[in-house]
């Protein structure tokens, strides 16, 4: 009975998260259409694409575990989130006047890319061809959590540091909100783990607690997108009032 209540409580949580992601996606692509400068436009489009992937993740995570789309969606979204974090860290570093390294991210990114993609492929094969309790499957899940969740958590820390060093107000807020969204996703990926060895009811409670972090991540990601909105308004005014030869001029936001 209690398990049924916990499972039912996860439905509105998922619907709230999907609603925020969908609205955020609409805002991201709307803002991206009016942005001229590549860094800001790319952040908006990256945000929109990532939120579409997260909507699919939320839907797939509510499928039965036996459905291969459920575990495979987690493997795919981890690579997408890592790529989003990586590109955003590079933007934050470029906007830093001194171009300082963010927690040594430049040295770590390429090896982590190789390892993460390799583990994702191994995990995909494990889920497709091995039983859920097989040795390969267990090793793949452990490595995926250790490298995947750990790497994007480290990336979130680099984003928060980069936000402090970024002079541009709009990008500073974007990077900070993105870092908080990534932290929430890491908690979603990992909070259920301590509950796993216990009874089914306790496991369902752990799953529900984990799922609560998804709407929080959606909200922070929405705030990250909306932080680019003032830039979009400025550039839209520039494009509408400037002469054809002057179009493409960008007015940076003030620190």
Task: Determine the Cα–Cα distance for residues 152 and 105; give it in Å rounded to an integer.
Answer: 11
Topology classification of domain 2-246: Rhopdopsin 7-helix transmembrane proteins (1.20.1070)
Among the listed residues 141, 142, 204, 156, the one whose alpha carbon sits nearest the alpha carbon of residue 13: 204
Task: Determine the Cα–Cα distance for residues 130 and 215; give it in Å rounded to an integer.
Answer: 32
For the chain, which residues make up each domain, given as ranges?
2-246
Element spanning 238, H or E: helix 229-241
Element spanning 224, H or E: helix 213-226
pTM: 0.84
pLDDT in tens, the chain (255 residues): 787 888 888 899 999 999 999 999 999 999 988 887 788 889 999 999 999 999 999 998 887 766 777 777 887 888 899 999 999 999 999 888 888 889 988 888 888 888 888 877 776 776 666 655 444 455 556 666 777 888 899 999 999 999 998 888 889 999 999 999 999 999 998 888 888 788 888 888 998 999 999 999 999 999 999 998 865 444 444 444 445 444 444 444 444
């Amino acid at each position: 009975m209690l398990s049924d209540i916990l499972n039912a409580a996860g439905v509105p949580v998922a619907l709230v998260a999907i609603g925020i992601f969908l609205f955020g996606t609409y805002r991201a692509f709307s803002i991206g259409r009016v942005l001229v400068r590549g860094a800001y436009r790319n952040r908006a489009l990256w945000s929109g694409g990532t939120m579409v992937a997260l909507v699919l993740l939320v839907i797939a995570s509510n499928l039965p575990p036996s459905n291969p789309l459920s575990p495979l969606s987690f493997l795919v979204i981890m690579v997408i989130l890592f790529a989003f974090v990586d590109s955003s860290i590079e933007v934050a570093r470029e906007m830093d006047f001194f171009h300082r390294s963010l927690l040594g991210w430049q040295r770590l990114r390429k090896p982590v890319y190789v390892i993460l993609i390799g583990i994702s492929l191994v995990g995909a094969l494990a889920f497709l061809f091995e039983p859920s309790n097989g040795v390969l499957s267990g090793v793949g899940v452990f490595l995926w959590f250790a490298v995947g969740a750990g790497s994007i958590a480290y990336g979130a820390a680099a984003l928060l540091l980069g936000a402090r060093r970024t002079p541009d107000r709009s990008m500073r807020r974007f990077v900070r909100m993105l870092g908080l969204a990534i932290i929430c996703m890491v908690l979603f990926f990992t909070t259920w783990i301590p509950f796993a060895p216990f009874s089914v009811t306790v496991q369902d409670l752990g799953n529900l607690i984990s799922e609560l972090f998804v709407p929080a991540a959606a909200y922070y990601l929405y705030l990250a997108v909306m932080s680019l909105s003032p830039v979009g308004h400025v550039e839209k005014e520039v494009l509408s009032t400037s002469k054809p030869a002057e179009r493409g001029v960008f007015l940076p936001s003030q620190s």
